[in-house]
Structure 1
């Protein structure tokens, strides 16, 4: 990668750089942009920076989304020059001093890339096979499907009794709060453990297999609580019927 090979400019001459600064900076931006692009690929990210040392100073390449954001030069004597930046271009004299060290920067970058050659040769890619979760997921979905079917049945009955389009029914099973929310489409969710609890039935996806294992065995207790609730409602209705006959 020869720096500025297509630009016939004496980059050590301040007057020449001043006269042709726009051309010089365009060439540097294009050339250093290739460095930034390759660094982004090498580092495995769209954003980052890396510094390279020379005998005269330090160069820093910063890139965003794979494109060069800036190229900064810090000479050993102090100060800094943004050879490429989003701000106004550098003054000709510090720019010329920086560009006099540009070839050394490219060599430092190339040495860095060369140092990485073969670094992955000893990496073993004979990874063990990855086990499938199909069996667990199928069983999880089967159990959740039965729970959801029962919840939809309860939701339909509650909607008929309440006479409203939306509602909730809650009960405690072994001191744990269970809540069924229903709407016109059936069960909206079945949540265990209050507002921060686990959703066994939800519109946003199934629960984990671990949550199903923990809470599914207690679902029968929730159904029993619902049945007791319905039985109490029937008794209340019978009392109303008896009172109407008197």
Structure 2
């Protein structure tokens, strides 16, 4: 019990210095990888003579640096969980220069990759005439929807209401507020709404059925008129 204990402070201090230096250097390597791969998360392995290094990056920075070598050597040189033991760290660092050389070869292999890629793109076709016609049709649909909404508002007497009918196998619904159409929906497609016009294909599909919905509305009004005709005083 009288034997003196050797302090591990020097070894730990040196280990921490090495890990900090590698973290900074490999961090730059990881950031370069993230930029090359155009991603925030990923990993890449680099073969060296005596093993393989794996660089994992996250949020564009180094997540871990791992070396797997011969004789069962498997050490996380940089990790978010724990620092490596000095002896495996020392063995791994013998091959760190190989990692840098392999990484540099990878970067060099990327040079010239895009040299033959042309940026002389064809002119995109204009959609202005299609959009203009779409907007014209939607404007006319909104006009008839507003007129139906006004009539329903006048008849029902309330500020809010709706009218729905099945047209060509699809449920249509007109919802109004204060005499104007809030929306006109055919299935899941809003032909009239608050969040922009529908797509041209949706208009092409459903616009031909608008007259059928108006006819359903007219039938509804006729039924209301006939029901009142039976009232006697």
Query: TM-score under structure 2 normalisation?
Result: 0.88
Distance 1:217 1:163, change over 3 A: same
Partner of 1:71: 65
The partner residue of 1:206 within 197, 206, 214 is: 197
Determine if the alignment matches structure 1 residue 128 to structure 2 residue 119: no
1:38-53 to 2 correspondence within 5 Å?
38-53=32-47
SS at 2:53 equivalent: strand
Q: Would the aligned equivalents of 1:17 and 1:24 in 2 still touch at CA under 8 Å?
A: no
Counterpart CA distance in 2 for 1:34 and 1:185 is: 64
Where in structure 1 are there 5+ consecutive unaligned residues?
1-14
Partner of 1:192: 186
Counterpart CA distance in 1 for 2:157 and 2:26 is: 72
Give per-residue Cα distances to partners, 1:2-51, cap 9 Å, x unaligned. xxxxxxxxxxxxx9764322222111111101111111110011111111
Q: Would the aligned equivalents of 1:17 and 1:96 in 2 still touch at CA under 8 Å?
A: no
Partner of 2:28: 34
Where in structure 2 are there 5+ consecutive unaligned residues?
1-8
Partner of 2:3: none
Partner of 2:172: 178
Distance 1:198 1:134, change over 3 A: same
Q: Would the aligned equivalents of 2:167 and 2:212 in 1 still touch at CA under 8 Å?
A: yes
Counterpart CA distance in 2 for 1:143 and 1:17 is: 79
How many residues end up aligned between the 2 structures? 225
The partner residue of 2:155 within 150, 158, 161 is: 161
SS at 1:20 equivalent: helix
Distance 1:175 1:22, change over 3 A: closer
Partner of 2:132: 138
